[in-house]
Structure 1
C-alpha cells in the first residue's frame, strides 16, 4: 500500500477533533442532566419534609394553649360543709358541681328550661368540680367567700375560640349551637374567656375528654420502656460485638451467627412483637401492657443494630493499637479492655443512641403485647399498665373529635423533638470523642 492510500484511509485531523468535541458536549450535557436530576430530587424531598412539618406544627401548635372561663364562685357553706365540722372527708365529698351551676345561672339568668341549662352547663369541662375541691382542701378558709376561679372550658368551646369551627355552617353541621355561640360571645365580651399555656397536656394521662387528655402517662411509659431497653441491649450488644470481632474463631458457625444478626436487623418489627407475645406473656406469664415486656421486646429489636454498630466501631480502631499493646506484654483481654474498647466506645454509643431512637418511634411490636389499652393512670413502675408515645398518637388519631386532632399533632411534635434530640446527641458524641487515624 502506497503513501496516498494511507492518507485516504486516515480521517483528517479536523474530523477527529470534531468527533471529540461532539463526545465532550454529550458527556457534559449528560452530567448537567444528572446534576439537575439530583437537585430536583433533593428539592422535592426537602419540600415534602417542609410541607409535612408545616402541616404538623400548624395543627399541633394550638394544642399548647387551652381556654379557661373565669367564674365567680360562691363557696356556700350550706353546700360544702352544712355541719361546719371542716371534716376533710365531708369537704372532699361536697357537691361542687352545684356551685358551678349556680355561678352560671347567675351570669345567664335568662336561661331557663332543662335542655338549655344542660347546654349552658356543658360549656364547662367535667373536671371543674375537682378544681374547686382542690381549692377547698388546700384552704378551707375559702368557705363562705366568693372567689373568681378559672375553670377549664369544654373541648367545643376551646375549638370555637381557636377558630377551628366554622360559624357560617348550618347549625346542624356544627358541634355547637347558635345559642351556645351567643353565650361564648357574651363571655368573651365580658372578658371571662382566657387562654393559658396547656400544662394539662404534660401533667395528665389519657382521657376520653379532649380538654383533659395529656401525654404524661405515655411519656412515663416510654421512659420506663426505653430504660429497660437500654439496660438490656447496650451491655449485651457491646459484649456480643467484642466477642465476635476480637475473640470468636473464624469458622462456619460464627459466619452463620453474623449472617443471622444482619438478617435480624432487617426483620419487620411486628415479628418481634409476636415473639414477645408468645414468649414473655404466654410462656413466662409476664403482665400485659407493661413497660417491662415492652422493654424486653424492644431490646430484641435493638440488639442487632447495636451489635453491627459496635463491630464497625471496633473495626475502625487501627491494628497498630492492638499490636502495640500486645508488644508491650498485655494479654488479649487487657488489650481489648484497656485500649481497643475505650477507643471504640464513642462509635458504640452513637449506634446505641440511634437504635434507641428507632425503638422510641416503634409502635407495631408494642401493639402486639397489649400496650394499646386505654390507660388513664400514670405508671409508677416497670410492671404497671402503660402505653408509649407512638401508641398514644395512634389511639388519638383514631378518635373523631376535632380537639384530638390538635393533641395528636402536638404529641407528634413532642415525639419528633425527642428523636431529633437523641440523633443530635449521637452526632455531638461522635464529633466530640471520635478519633481520626
Structure 2
C-alpha cells in the first residue's frame, strides 16, 4: 500500500513537472514571437528611416544673375533662356568660359535646378523693370548634385559609373567653398506637389488628395455604417434574411481591395460618369471598402452595452427608438468611433483599388475640389518607387514616413477617443 502511494505521488510529481515545463516553453515561445515581431518592425522602420531621412536635408544655391536686356523681350519674357543665364552666372563665379558648342554651360546646368530659372521668370513677370539689372535667387541644386553633397555619390568610384564627372564634382566643391551652396531643412518636400524633377517634388498634393478622399469616405461610410448596424442589432427581426445579410457583410469585409476598385471603375466611372482620378471617386470606393468594417465594429460596440440599460430605459416609458438613440448608442460611441477611425486608417493605406480608378497619373498640383484630378500618398509612393531617377527613391521612403505619420495620428486619435469616453461595466 505504501509502495503504491509512493508511485502515485512520483507519477503526479512527474506530470506536474511536465506541466510546468510546458508552461515555461509556451511563455518562452510567446516572448520569442514578440521579440521577432519587434525586431522585424524595427528593421522595417529603420530601413525606411535610413533611406528617407536625407530627403529632409535640402541643398540650395544662391546666385546673382544679370537679366540681359538684349535676351529678354518685355512683351514675352517667357521666351528667354533663364536657365542658361543662371548657368552663366555660376560659370562666372567658377572662372569658367564656355566653348562654341556650349558643352561647359550644359554641364553646369546639370548641377542647377530649373527652379532658379522659373524664379527669374516670375520676377520679370511681376516687375519688368528688373530687366537689365542683377537679381539674386535661391533654389535647390539638381538631385544628383544634392546626392553628392549628402555623401551618396562616391567620388572614388570610376567616372563612368556615376552621372557626375570629376570636373563637375570639383565645381560643386568650389561652390560650397565659396558659400554659394548651403544645407537646411527641406520644407519644400512638405509644401510642394509632384514634379518631374526630383529636387522639386513634394507630397503636399498627395496629402491634400488623401485628406479630401478620406473626408468623402468618412461622410458616407460612417453614417450609413452606423445606421445599418443599429438597425441590424436593435430593430431587425432574427430570420433567414437578416442572417443572410450578416453573412454577406462579414464576407465583404474579407473581399480583396482590388475588387472594390473594379466595382468603382464599372459603376462610378463607366456608368455614373464620376470624374476619373478625383477625390470623389476615390472616396466612394474607400467608403464601400470601409462599410463592412464600420458595421461590424458598431455592432460589437452595441452588444457591449449591458441589457440593463435598455431594460431601465424602457421601464421608464422610453420607446425603442428613444432607448437606442438616447442611451444605447451614446454609450457605445467610443467603440463606434474607434472602429470608424481604424477602418478609415486602413483604407488610407490601400493602393490597388485607387490604381484601378486612374489615380496613378502625374498630378503636379494639389486638387482644388472633389472632382479635380488628384493623387494620394500610397499611389505617390508607388509612382516614385517606379521612377528611374535615383533621387526619387529616397523621396519614396520619405513619403512612406509621412504616410505612417498620418496613420499613427489617426490611430492615436482612436485610442484617445476610446479612453476619453470609455465606460467600464
* Smaller-chain TM-score bracket: over 0.9
Name the stretch that deviates more: 321-330 or 93-102: 93-102
Alignment of structure 1 residues 380-391 onto 2, 5 Å = 380-391=368-379
415-424 or 69-78, which moves further after superposition?
69-78
The residue matched to 1:69 in structure 2 has which SS?
Answer: strand
Q: 1:160 aligns with which of 148, 163, 171?
A: 148
Q: TM-score, normalised by structure 2?
A: 0.95
Residues 80 and 96 of structure 1 are in contact (CA less than 8 Å); yes or no, is this contact kept in structure 2?
no
Once the two structures are TM-superposed, the CA of residue 402 in structure 1 deviates from its matched residue by: 1.7
1:428 equivalent in alignment to 2:413:
no
**What does residue 336 of structure 2 align with?**
348
Task: Tell me by how many angstroms 1:356 deviates.
Answer: 0.6
SS in 1 for 2:65: strand
* Structure 1 SS opposite 2:374: coil
- RMSD value, Cα: 1.8
Q: Match of 1:60?
A: 52
Paired residue for 1:364, among 344, 352, 377? 352
1:344 and 1:248 map into 2 onto residues whose CA distance is 18
Q: How do residues 284-433 of structure 1 correspond to structure 2 at under 5 angstroms? A: 284-433=272-421
TM-score by length of 1: 0.92
Q: CA deviation at 1:193?
A: 1.3
Aligned partners of 2:83, 2:161: CA distance in 1, in Å? 30
Q: Deviations over 1:203-246 (max 9, x none)?
A: 22211211111111111111111111001001100110110011
Q: Is contact 1:159-1:402 (8 Å) kept?
A: no
Indicate the larger mover: 105-114 or 295-304.
105-114
CA distance in 2 between partners of 1:372 and 1:146 (Å): 42
Q: Is the 8 A contact 1:104 1:121 kept in 2?
A: no
For the 8 Å contact 2:209–2:376, the answer to whether it is kept is yes
Q: Which structure 1 segments of 5+ residues have no match? A: 1-6, 82-86
Confirm or deny: 8 A CA contact 2:94 2:174 kept in the other structure: no
Select the residue among 74, 88, 110 that pairs with 1:102: 88
Any idea what SS the aligned residue of 1:127 has?
helix
2:31 to 29, 36, 39: 39
Kindly state the Cα deviation for residue 78 of structure 1 after the two structures are TM-superposed. Answer: 4.4
TM-superposed CA distance for 1:249, in Å, is 0.7
Please say which of residues 15-24 and 47-56 is displaced more in the overlay.
Answer: 15-24
Q: Which moved more, 1:201-210 or 1:346-355?
A: 201-210
Within 1, Cα distance between the matches of 2:87 and 2:165?
Answer: 20
Q: Post-superposition, which runs of at least 4 consecutive aligned residues in structure 1 deviate over 6 A? A: none
- What per-residue deviation string (whole Å, max 9, x for no partner) do you get for residues 127-169 of structure 1? 2111123344556665554354322210110011001111111
Aligned to 1:74: 66
For the pair shown, which has the larger CA radius of gyration, 1 or 2? 1
Aligned to 2:189: 201
Give deviations 1:380-422, integer Å, cap 9, x for gaps: 0111111110000011111122211110000000000011110
Question: Is the Cα contact below 8 Å between 1:60 and 1:410 reproduced in 2?
Answer: yes
Q: In 1, distance between residues paired with 2:200 and 2:95?
A: 29
Q: Distance in 2 between matches of 1:97 and 1:181?
A: 20
**Aligned residue pair count:** 423
Contact 2:116/2:137 (8 A) holds in 1: no
Q: What is residue 3 of structure 1 aligned with on the other side?
A: none
State the partner residue of 1:25.
17
In structure 2, stretches of 5+ residues that fail to align are none
Query: 2:220 is matched with which residue?
Result: 232
Q: 1:172 aligns with which of 160, 167, 180?
A: 160
Choose 71-80 or 269-278, whichever is displaced more.
Answer: 71-80
Equivalence for 2:6: 14
- Does the Cα contact within 8 Å between 2:83 and 2:109 map onto a contact in 1? no
State which drifts further: 106-115 or 60-69. Answer: 106-115
Alignment counterpart, residue 199 of structure 2, candidates 202, 206, 211: 211
Q: Distance in 1 between matches of 2:28 and 2:127?
A: 70
